[in-house]
Amino acid sequence: MAVIEIPRLTVHTTRYTARAQSGLSMCFVIAIALLAWVQLASAQTMAEFRRTLTVTAAKTVTLDVDVAVGELQVSYGRDGEVSIAASARGSEPAGIGDGFVSAVLRIEQIGNHIMIHTFDPVPPEERTSVLYQINVPYRTELTSKVNSGKQVITGILGPVNAVTNKGDIKAAYISNALEGHVGTGNLDLQVIGGPVEAIADSGNISCTRLPQGVSAEAGEGDITLMVVGPSTAVVKKGTGRINVGGARGRFIGSTDQGDLYLKAIPHEDWQLSSVSGNVRLELPPSAKFELEASTKTGELQFERDDITKPLANLLQFRQAINGGGKRIAVHTESGRIVIR
């Protein structure tokens, strides 16, 4: 069979090639011309910079970073050294040359205190992208400020104080406290050992595994908390929602028009409120708690067998569930309260 198939295929290919040869050649020429034009129009230049600083393991490293424009990544690498890498890409007018990064970057070291400051590299219209990657020892305290760009901070002792004016902040595996503030952008925090303060003027906040809790404040974005200690979450205005899974301690949450959803075991008291958003609680069947639910013009809805079904149009309700326990106070002005 194979002996027959091979010549047949060869004949077919030859026939096809003969028919399409001239057309193909034309396409080829056009494609190459197009590629050349694209290359010329968006000629990219690139510069790289690397430096390693030696630090002592005996003391904590204090790192202060101030970046005008660019993405900042600070992460654990190894003890005994701070390694700084920077790369810049830009269109031709930006004039990215070999000395570009070193010209916009100032590094100072006084013992274990390292200060990194950058200047605004080139006007934004020239589309320069700059990435600063700093690998540090575990025992590092960080103060970082980025005017325009993203921050990613991973795997250090802390404390961390990170601020961006425009851009996201992602931080993970910080052992001590963290303060994060974004103007326009999102805050994504995972596994932070110490207490956390998170503020997003315009953007979302997401927190996962914060055993010492978080004080989260969103101007109008969503707040998502998963497995957190004693926490407060406030959405100041608009339709921003709060979504909580696994609140391990006291919890206070409030929204404006957005919904508030909480699924957890009530280990401590909860206080939940909204203006017009719905509040939905999901607790295990065996959970013991003292429920106080109220609304001005909204609705109460209970989907558990252990809660006495209230009368229609009831605006206030109070009952000890499974013998009672921690206090769960829920209030909405005009939304709906649902307990499952």
Partner 1 sequence: MRMSRQFVRNLAITCALLGCSNWVFGQKDPGVRGGIQNTGGGLQQQGIPIPHPPLISRNPTTGETINENELKSFLEGILRAGQLESTCDDCADVTDGSPVIGMGELDPVFPQFHTNSNGLGARHNSDQCFSCHAQPTLGGSGGYLVPNPGDKTPHQAENPQFHLIPHRYGRQNVVPSFEHRYGPIREVRFKRKPDGTPDGGVHQLWTVRGSTNDPTIPNCALTQPDFEKEYKAGNLAFRIPLQMTGLGLIESIQDREILAQHDATATLRAPLGITGHPNRSGNDGTITRFGWKAQNKSVTIFAGEAYNVEMGITNEAFPTATEEDPDCQGPEKPEPNDVVRTDNNESRNQDFDNPLHILPDWQQFQILMRFTDGPAPVANPSESAKHGRTLFSDIGCALCHTPQMQTAPVMNSAVLQNRPVNLFSDMFLHHMGAKLADDITQGQAGADEFRTTPLWGIGQRIFFMHDGRTADLLKAIDEHFSSATPKYSASEANEVVHKFHGLSSVDQQAILDFLRSL
Q: Which of 172, 252, 275, 329 binds partner 1 (CB under 8 A)?
A: 172
**How near is the Cβ of 227 to partner 1 at its closest, in Å?**
5
15: left (phi over 0), alpha (psi -120 to 50) or beta: alpha
CB closer to partner 1, 229 vs 258: 229
Q: Which of 212, 215, 276, 322 binds partner 1 (CB under 8 A)?
A: 212
| Among 335, 270, 279, 339, CA closest to 309 | 339
Residue 206 DSSP label: E
**How near is the Cβ of 170 to partner 1 at its closest, in Å?**
9
Q: Site residues for partner 1, window 75-114 (CB under 8 A)?
A: 75-80
**How near is the Cβ of 281 to partner 1 at its closest, in Å?**
12
Q: Site residues for partner 1, window 258-277 (CB under 8 A)?
A: 263-265
- Binding piece for partner 1, criterion CB under 8 A, among 7-15, 25-33, 132-140, 196-204: 132-140
**How near is the Cβ of 226 to partner 1 at its closest, in Å?**
6
- Taking CB under 8 A as the rule, does residue 304 contact partner 1? no
Q: In 193-298, at which residue ranges do the beta strands (DSSP E only) sit? A: 196-202, 205-210, 214-218, 223-228, 231-235, 242-247, 251-255, 260-263, 270-274, 279-282, 289-295
- Taking CB under 8 A as the rule, does residue 137 contact partner 1? yes
**How near is the Cβ of 282 to partner 1 at its closest, in Å?**
9
Cis peptide before 159 (omega within 30 of 0): yes
Check if the beta carbon of residue 264 is closer than 8 Å to that of residue 254: no
Q: Site residues for partner 1, window 55-74 (CB under 8 A)?
A: 57-58
Can you tell me which residue has the tokens 């020892």?
137
**How near is the Cβ of 74 to partner 1 at its closest, in Å?**
12
- Taking CB under 8 A as the rule, does residue 138 contact partner 1? yes
From CA 107, how far away is CA 112, in angstroms rounded? Answer: 13
**How near is the Cβ of 266 to partner 1 at its closest, in Å?**
10
From CA 282, how far away is CA 299, in angstroms rounded? Answer: 17
From CA 150, how far away is CA 223, in angstroms rounded? Answer: 19
Q: Which two tokens stand for residue 30?
A: 């056009």
Residues that bind partner 1 (CB under 8 A): 57-58, 75-80, 135, 137-139, 152, 154-155, 157, 172-173, 175-176, 190-191, 193-194, 208-209, 211-212, 226-227, 229, 245-246, 248, 263-265, 284
